[in-house]
Structure 1
Amino acid sequence: MRLRSELPAFEGVTEWINGQVSKEELKGNPVLVHFWSVSCHMCKESLPQINEWRDNYEKQYGLQVIGVHMPRSEKDLEIGPVKETIAQYELKHPILVDNEHAVTDSFQNEFVPAYYLFDGEQQLRHFQAGEKGLKMVEQRLHKILGVTEA
């Protein structure tokens, strides 16, 4: 996806966990879409940071976090281990299971972990992939939310 691209709709989802959300419901709020996979060690390492952002910025700044489980292998298609990982890491935000890669394709995503940050007008403001991307995402997130460092 190119910067300033519009947030794609979440269509072709295999299953929603922790509630379903539509693109329309997200209007006016900044949105972080986080692609991850149950078989990705780096992805699991980033989950506590995703939870922290959700907890710190949802009430005050309206940040909405959407997880996308993107299977990387045949084994990743099993819903049970995905649900176990969600429970283990206390992921409370909506997570969609994308076994058919419909959402993955609409984002033109090839990576896990991957982070897509949209502003309140649903325009892509930042994309980052890989384990070292968290700091870059956090800096951009602070800029979009207007968070000032203490």
Structure 2
Amino acid sequence: MYKRIFALTLLLVLVGVVIANVIVDRTDDTTGGEEEAELVDDGSSSQGAGIAPAESTGIEPGEPAPDFELETLEGESFRLSDLQGEKVILNFWYSWCPPCIEEMPEIQEFYDDYQDEVEVVAVNMTQHENQLSDIGDFIDENEHTFTVPLDEDDSLSEPYVVYAAPTTYFIGTDGTIQQPRRIGPMDYEFMEEMVQGMD
């Protein structure tokens, strides 16, 4: 009788130890990694999310927006610094990204109403496109009228820390980032709020 009670007690203690070790291991896996991660929209679905390192927070408000020169969809040269003195919404997108598709009508509506106060620059992440013609087809079909530079060699992903699409920056008249970076689709009201808080 005592042997059975002892064996049962020993078994329960061993099970408890195993459970405790599993819990500790899982806690270490989620909190003890070298890098913390943040959930970001990767553009793979309308709900999509991916994991990016915590240091990928992008250019912080108060920092200068890196200048660049790209060719636009119309074949003209576009340089960001030429817009110094204007408020700029700088958006990174590609044509088959569901969250990008979701926000584009909102961006166009906002641009229609505020183009005298704010310039919208929608940089196409061209390396993610299936074919170059998809960009023009998308812009034409949806009657978008804002500027569309083409980042054909993915030269802006690093300086602008673009890990997911859409990614948007808000640049003030002084050429600095003036609002936190936005990852994921925007609506009209959000853009209005961001721009009203800019100089």
Identity of aligned residues (%): 20
| SS at 1:64 equivalent | strand
Match of 2:101 in 1: 44
Match of 1:34 in 2: 91
1:7-86 map, 5 Å: 7-11=65-69, 13=70, 15-18=71-74, 19-59=76-116, 61=117, 63-71=118-126, 73=128, 76-86=129-139
Asked whether the equivalents of residues 7 and 118 of structure 1 are also in contact (C-alpha less than 8 Å), the reply is yes
Alpha-carbon offset, residue 114 of structure 1: 1.3
Alpha-carbon offset, residue 21 of structure 1: 2.6
Asked whether the equivalents of residues 128 and 137 of structure 1 are also in contact (C-alpha less than 8 Å), the reply is no
- Kindly provide the amino acid, as one letter, of the partner of residue 78 in structure 2: V
Q: Which runs of at least 4 in structure 1 moved beyond 6 Å after TM superposition?
A: none
Aligned residues: 138
| SS at 1:106 equivalent | coil
| SS at 1:102 equivalent | coil
Q: Calculate the TM-score normalised by the size of structure 2.
A: 0.63
Match of 1:5 in 2: 63
Distance in 2 (CA, whole Å) between partners of 1:49 and 1:125 is 21
Match of 2:177 among 98, 102, 124: 124
Q: Calculate the TM-score normalised by the size of structure 1.
A: 0.81
1:68-108 CA distance string (max 9 Å, x none): 111464xx152101110011121212111213110222211
Alpha-carbon offset, residue 130 of structure 1: 0.9
Alpha-carbon offset, residue 140 of structure 1: 1.3
Distance in 1 (CA, whole Å) between partners of 2:89 and 2:63 is 14
| SS at 1:85 equivalent | helix
Distance in 2 (CA, whole Å) between partners of 1:68 and 1:91 is 13
- Kindly provide the amino acid, as one letter, of the partner of residue 42 in structure 1: P
Structure 1 segments unaligned to the other structure (5+ residues): 146-150
Distance in 1 (CA, whole Å) between partners of 2:154 and 2:166 is 15
Larger radius of gyration: 2
Distance in 2 (CA, whole Å) between partners of 1:94 and 1:35 is 12
Q: Does 1:93 align with 2:138?
A: no
